[in-house]
Amino acid sequence: MGPLRRPLAKPPPNLLPGALILSSTTDAFSHPHDEVRTLIRQLFRLSPENLKPTVDMKSAFFELTFNVMMRMIAGKRYYGENVTDLGEARRFQAIINDSRSGTGVNLVDFLPIVRWLGFNGTEKRLMALQEKRDKFMQELIQGHRKISSDAAASSGEKKRTIIEILLSLHQTEPDYYTDESIRNLMLAGTDTSAGTMEWAMSLLLNNPQVLKKAQTEIDDRVGRDRLIDESDLLELSYLHCIINETLRIQPAAPLLIPHESSQDCTVAGYHIPRGTMLLVNLWAIQNDPNIWEDPRKFKPERFEGLEGTRDGFKLMPFGSGRRGCPGESLAMRVVGLALGSLIQCFDWERVGVEMVDMTEGTGPGLAKCRQRPTMVNLLSQI
């Protein structure tokens, strides 16, 4: 447990982003809803009737998740339509692109001695990037702080963004709700949610019979006269099975988040000194043939009847216990709404005859989509 976590070992319930969103903003889910509708509208315009254009799904999911998170955090979108400040959007996009390209293995983490040999370029680059991110987020915080100081903003009006909520809570619990904790929200849950949707589409493209079964479930439970809404997700059990099976085969964080031993200990006969970085090989657990039958086969049916359970430590894509991901509920809802909407509205095919490459780091990239004939009238109205 790091020095920042120690005084926050038992934080107030509202500190968790998921709890903040659900307890303090009644219309919080309107942002994912709006962004998914925007994506569907864009795809509808790109795919005239009876044509099957090629769609860059990787970029679509990436922009969707970042727009959702930043609208929740700061009330702004930085990709696609209705961007209010192009200069600010370009700054944000540059920071995100640098952040994504800067990820990977840092040799110093595994061989600390090489730090003394001058192999610390990655750390210096990441520290410089962190300064850029912090400066950008601090400007957003200051902007919200200025607005909240106005008399009109203090009249009991409902808070609209996570920054506004945290700044309000800062007044009563400044040790918990700091500017630093707000700044750290910038990248929360974005790449992981986008990656899960990418892998789900890859698996569906390689298994069209599963895609067809999911479409049938949605047609039966939701119908063809309206689009999927959040309230429908609880009734779409097979869609949940698809998401769980995707998270099992291709977990968004195959090694979870690095932990550190707070004291000397012995695990399975191995001595682990205090201060050691600890990694959990989640991919190995969730693809272990001793635990899962035919683990590399995409079989959503294995989760039928197990909705809402994780079956102990066999499946834990969001981690477990006190170190589990606080955004699990939000991520499942966003992924469910986006994936369900794409399945409901369009027919999907691979670009070529070859199966989509499931090698780590590739993803589907491109896919062909066509308006489902039964959905054309409805899609033309959104």
Count other Cβ atoms within 10 Å, centred on residue 364: 26
**325 marked as binding residue:** yes
- C-alpha distances out from residue 198 to 2, 203, 229, 341, 364, Å: 33, 9, 21, 14, 6
Please check whether residue 365 is in contact with residue 357, taking contact to mean a CB–CB distance below 8 angstroms: no
Non-local CB neighbours of 50 within 8 Å, separated by 6+ positions: 370
How does 256-291 read in b/e, with b if 16+ C-beta sit within 10 Å? beeeeeeeeeeeeeeeeeeeeeeebebbebbbeeee
Matching residue, tokens 């896919």: 367
Please check whether residue 221 is in contact with residue 235, taking contact to mean a CB–CB distance below 8 angstroms: yes
- C-alpha distances out from residue 258 to 125, 266, 321, Å: 20, 18, 15
CA 21 distance to own-chain centroid:
15
Mark the binding-site residues, compressed into ranges.
Answer: 325
The binding site for heme consists of 325
